[in-house]
Chains A and B, each alone.
Chain A
Amino acid sequence: MSKIEKALNKARGEHRALPVAMQGAGESDIRVPGTAVVADRVGHAISVGSIGRMDASESRLLSAGDLSERGIIHPERLEDPVVQAFRELRTRIVQQSRGQNGVILVCGVREGSGSSFVAQNLAAAFAFDAGKTALVIDCNLKNPSVHRLIEDASSQGLTDYLENPELDIAEIIRPVGIARYRAIAAGGRCELPAEHFTSQKMRRLIDSVRLRYGERFIILDGPPMSDIADIRTLTELCDYVIVVARYGLATNTQIENCLSAIDDKKLLGIVFNDEPRIPRVPRKKHSWRSGGERDYRGPGD
């Protein structure tokens, strides 16, 4: 660790003192051991530093119950098939990216496919791992959903950033109450999203968020495949594409049309979403009733 980094850490530690104090005694022990674990596992100076910085900005972490209400998976329920599915998906991506971070576009075969759900939960799965962080960018400008995760509803988003040259990236990347998980909302309403996505600023945004943190996986919550122009533009910006087909909704014709519009090399696969399964009755101590009392600390806790 270089002197400059030590100095930076010190400055940030001072800066972080206030929220830690506000979070109380229960939260104070999250940061340091978490950082230490990540440092042990990853062994990467910049990553550890950035994760530490991210942890510092967590204002208030959501409980497992809150997450369940919001439709986000929680590492406490590892036996839940949904959790397992997303972890498996994450593993696939990690294997595919070979140690690099990546930009993943998640788009539905049609509207209502649950691509936002997949995108947000995939991000959550990445965030399980203390050595990785996730950033969800809401690119579904017509039907945005990421802003619901963000506590500050009035915060600015992607379109604001693209339209306002004075706005800084840091101002639109918002915490969502989950460790190592950030989101960029769609922002104000926009009539011509494709024009934004083709802009240089958009490309720069993606590049900068990808390059700034090497362990950060950027997930683009894309529009449905019916907005084929947006999809084509976003496909160019991303490394991988995940197509979401919903149970009892997508037809083979739609999937075929969808696949024909995507570059085979970038296509990671199809996520068959929302398969109805009888839920397993969780064990008493891990049930969502009792889980509400505990905070989400990630599997490393």
Chain B
Amino acid sequence: MQMHPEQITRALINEAFHSRRLVVGLFVALNAVTLVSGLQWPKVYTASTTILVDDRNIVQPLMSGAAVPTEVTDRSRNAREVIYGRKIMDQILENGGWLTSRSTPEEQERIIENVKKRTTIATVGRNIIRIEYRDDDPERAFRVTERFAELFIQESIAAKAAESGAAFEFIEKQTQEYHDKLARTEKEMKELRSSSLEARSGSDVELNTRLSALYLRIDTASQELREAEIKGVALEKQLSGEVEVIATATREGQYRTRIGELQSRLDTLRLSYHDAHPDIAQVKQQIRDLTDGIAAERERREQMKRDGRSEGDQSAMNNPIYQQLRRELSQNQLTIEGLKERISDAQQRLQQELGQGRLLHGVAERLAEATRDYEVNRDIYQDLLRRRENARVSMHLDRDKQGFTLKIQEPVTMPQSPSGPRFWHFVGGGILLGILVPMGLLFARLNFDPRIRVGSTISTRHKVLVAVVVPHLWSPKELKSLRWEFLLLTLAVGATVVTSVALSVLRIAKVL
């Protein structure tokens, strides 16, 4: 439904007149509600203070790099955490007079929550913290706010000092720890070194050289041994052959050789002579003599055997080759023995060296590890030493209140008048609401109720002439009751307004 502003105004006036009782009723009711709310609305006194946080002073540039200032990223949050802490809150409870002997922990908790609700902590600019506290008692508001500021400053500075002190202590402890660790490592290294004197750098190279020399020696000796053994076998063989030849060269052998020679002479003689030939007979004699000589020789030998004597084989002793072979064999045997001795000695030494090498490796490993630990710990330790000095300076700064100061920028003043909405706000709001709400409702009805309330809309909507708009015809009785009604409604509105104004005046005069 599209209407012109005048049409809307006209329609609103008509509608307001039509629903006059509702309008006036709403006006009175809304005013009554706001008046009651205004009367019931607690008077709230607000006390506030601002604290200047000064963390940039003359010492800082001087100590830059040496002391680490505490970073304050969100001051209001920090302040809130400090102030809302139980430590400060307990003192506030005491200071605000809330703490009685009868109050249970639950009650205290509830009071603390209420106090927190009434407290606002905010940062103004970068370095100013504003603490605001609302209370229905102006004096208590003043007291609590003042105490808040005091306790906050105290607590902050103490916390700051405690913080840097704790930091120093921590670093100090760490330094001590690393110092101990370093000492331990040093001691370990010393022990390792003394446990194995050879365990020094380069000792493994020497060991390797020695080991390879031993291996070489063993190899060479083994080779020589094999050669000597082969030579020994060959000599043995040769010697055994020589023994046979030496046996024929004995006395018996000589006899037999003579017999052989004589036999062949006999054979030759027999070819030319008869057996009776002297030459033959002589030869035969000689053979007989020789055979007897052999028998005597045998007899003699057996006799010697029985007697247990041996006078040796004079013919063998006299064999020069045999003698030489025997000499060489003996020499060879000596060589073999010597070589075996050398190999076993070398092997023993090799085992020794290997054992020592293993030992040396273990120690070197541990020593390297200990050295590494030592180096790392030493670095950390040196760093910690530097840090400890920084922490010490920071701690001294905080202790001497040089690094971070909190000053009350704007001291708390006793609130003289209550904050928040005043009574006349309620009165004005009530009157305004009393007019606007019914009008809004009527406007809504005009717009959303399908029933027609503006005659001209019919002609625009249905393209038909609205011949005439007939207002309500008031009968005398109706007019009479309307007068009474008007009178009553005016009285109601007047009484409402007068009451509101009177209450406002009384309120301003502080009667109420």
Contacts and interface: CB of A to CB of B under 8 A. Distances in A.
A118 B449 CA distance: 25
B72 interface: no
A80 B464 CA distance: 26
B450 A275 contact: no
A73 B479 CA distance: 15
The binding surface of chain B is classed by DSSP as: mixed
Interface in B458-490: 458-459, 461-462, 464-477, 479, 482
Interface in A106-121: 117-118, 121
Given A269-B464, A270-B464, A275-B14, A250 B455 contact: no
Contacts of A89: 467-468
A270 B476 contact: no
B469 A272 contact: yes
Interface residues of B, number: 31
Nearest to B469: A272
A275 B467 contact: no
Interface string A9-47: 000000000000000000000000000000000000000
Nearest to B16: A276
A73 B464 contact: no
A272 B475 contact: no
B465 A82 contact: no
B453 interface: yes
Nearest to A88: B468
B458 A270 contact: yes
Interface centre among B455, B465, B472 (most CB of A within 10 A): B472
A294 interface: no
Nearest to A282: B479
A120 B409 CA distance: 86
B466 A272 contact: yes
B17 interface: yes
Interface string B423-465: 0000000000000000000000000011111010011011011
Contact of B467 (A92, A255, A256): A92
B454 to A, nearest CB: 9
Contacts of B461: 252, 255
Interface stretch (A63-71, A177-185, A204-212, A226-234): A63-71
Contact of B455 (A86, A267, A272, A278): A272
A68 B475 contact: yes
B4 interface: no
A27 B458 CA distance: 45
B17 A277 contact: yes
A71 B470 CA distance: 13
Nearest to B457: A252
Nearest to B1: A252
A274 B473 CA distance: 7
A155 B423 CA distance: 69
B425 to A, nearest CB: 33
A81 interface: yes
A58 B469 CA distance: 31
Given A118-B470, A247-B453, A268-B467, A255 B458 contact: yes
A223 to B, nearest CB: 20
B306 interface: no
Nearest to A90: B468
Given A259-B464, A272-B455, A279-B474, A253 B469 contact: no
Contacts of A277: 14, 17, 471-472
B18 interface: yes
A242 interface: yes
B482 A279 contact: yes
A245 B456 CA distance: 12
Given A69-B475, A82-B470, A270-B464, A275 B455 contact: yes
Nearest to A89: B468
A248 interface: yes
Contact of A249 (B451, B455, B459, B477): B451
A247 B452 contact: yes
A251 B14 contact: no
Contacts of A86: 468, 470
B450 A117 contact: no
A85 B462 contact: no
Given A245-B452, A248-B451, A271-B469, 18 more contacts: A82-B471, A121-B473, A247-B452, A250-B451, A256-B462, A269-B464, A270-B467, A271-B466, A272-B458, A272-B468, A276-B17, A276-B18, A276-B472, A277-B471, A278-B17, A279-B474, A279-B482, A288-B479
10 contacts: A250-B451, A251-B450, A251-B451, A252-B452, A255-B462, A270-B464, A272-B452, A275-B455, A275-B471, A277-B14
Interface of B: 13-15, 17-18, 449-453, 455, 458-459, 461-462, 464-477, 479, 482
Interface of A: 65, 68-69, 71, 73, 80-82, 85-86, 88-89, 92, 117-118, 121, 242, 245, 247-253, 255-256, 259, 267-279, 288-289
